[in-house]
Amino acid sequence: MPFTKTATILTYEGAAAMLAAAIAKAREINVPQCICVVDAAGHLLAFARMDGAFAMSEETALAKARTSACYGVPTGGIAEGVDIKLAIATQGRRINLFGGLPVIVAGTVIGAIGVGSGSGEQDTAVAAAGLAVIPGAASFD
């Protein structure tokens, strides 16, 4: 039984490229956003609060990214009722708002992006633009 393994990680450079692509998409749709990119453990790698973005969306964007990294799925898909129970049980760290997407490469979650300050559809579109720059990353169209 092996005691170590080689792992793919999301680098700062990858996170910065995701952030830049997400900002470009937010500008294209004219919706200022808060954007967070985290590693697989949910630790923040890159963040931006664009001019005009709702300041409190920083917290929801980070929660979306962390939730997506932890569960390996896009946010927003948990059944109503269960989502509230999970939010309470995790003291608000588990969030079910649209706008969080995991970065999955070769079947392994290596990070996530969370976006907030627009509608759920806008947040998800901005997150998808950030995700698209990572070679081999799964997409969630």
Backbone torsions φ then ψ of 68, nearest 5 degrees: -65, -40
Kindly state the DSSP code that residue 44 receives in the 8-state scheme: E
Instruction: Report the C-alpha gap between 51 and 34 in whole angstroms.
Output: 9
User: Whole-model pTM?
Assistant: 0.94
pLDDT of residue 141: 76
Facing residues of 37 across strands?
46, 113
pLDDT in tens, 30-62: 999 999 999 999 999 999 999 999 999 999 999
In the predicted model, what is the mean pLDDT of residues 13-26?
A: 98
The half-sphere exposure of 23 on its side-chain side, counting CA atoms within 13 A, is: 15
12-131, superfamily in CATH?
Answer: Haem-degrading domain (3.30.450.150)
What does pLDDT average to over the chain? 94
Facing residues of 103 across strands?
111
pLDDT in tens, 60-83: 999 999 999 999 999 998 878 877
